[in-house]
Amino acid sequence: MDTSIADLRKDYTLQDLSEKEINPNPFTQFRIWFTQSLAAQLPEPNAMTLATCTADGQPSARMVLLKDFDERGFVLFTNYNSEKGQELAVNPHAALVFWWAELERQVRIVGTVEKISSAESDSYFEIRPAYSRLGAWASNQSEVIASREILEAQLQEFQLKYENQEVPRPPHWGGFRVIPQKIEFWQGRSSRLHDRLLYTRLNDEEWQIERLSP
């Protein structure tokens, strides 16, 4: 390599983040930033890291997609039998991270997790493209599979099964909602002196806002 990894660095200079300008409601503040990420035409601004943990404390993380959010929390969908689904079943706590590099911004969310209602999962499943609905049936997510051909054969099997029919939601597939206890908004600043404002939930309606040292 011509460039050392240790020499890779960028100075963040686009914007700042102050207590005067941030919204007192973290969900409103997230919506402001998310809307700005859409306006900036960032690639997959709803992509986020989801970190989960086994019952005995072994962590794992992966990229997933945010599919909804409101003042109840942040929603993602998955196969409940997947690694993350099983971990959330035994240890219903999670962390999310959004990284919007082009805006030099990061949002960190820590909270508890609950399954959303079957009706909510049905509503989202119905608007998924047909190939995605079939894929939810064909893939035993996170399980070892001998070959790609087996997966494609399983997909063809369900294509035939549901030919000219509405594809129903599998009972093992649905949504989780991350209910935040803490939300941190991070704005990159020069000389690594970043702005970090942390919301901590006090009750159902009130949040405490504190500045963290970078």
pLDDT of 107 > 70? The answer is yes
Catalytic status, residue 196? no
Q: Which of helix, strand or coil describes residue 9? A: coil
pLDDT of 174 > 60? The answer is yes
Taking each continuous run of H as one helix and of E as one strand, the counts in the chain are 5, 9
pLDDT of 168 > 70? The answer is yes
Residue 159, class by beta-carbon neighbours within 10 Å (0-12 exposed, 13-18 middle, 19+ buried)?
A: middle
Cβ neighbours around 211 below 10 Å, total: 12
The model's pTM: 0.94
The Cα–Cα gap between 45 and 37 comes to 6
Using the Cα atoms of residue 32, residue 37, residue 40 and residue 46 in order, give the sign of their dihedral.
Answer: negative
Q: Which of 36, 16, 6 is nearest to 190 (CA)?
A: 16
Task: Please measure the distance between the N-terminal and C-terminal CA atoms of the chain and give it in whole angstroms.
Answer: 31
pLDDT of 149 > 80? The answer is yes
Supply the Cα-derived Rg of the chain in whole angstroms.
20
Amino acid at 103: L
Residue 1 has a pLDDT of 57
Q: Which residues contact 122 (CB under 8 A, 6 or more apart)?
A: 169
Q: What's the pLDDT band for 3 if we cut at 50, 70, 90? A: confident
Catalytic residue among 177, 192, 196, 201: 192
pLDDT in tens, 111-145: 999 999 999 999 999 999 999 999 999 999 999 99
pLDDT in tens, 21-77: 999 999 999 999 999 999 999 999 999 999 999 999 999 999 999 999 999 999 999
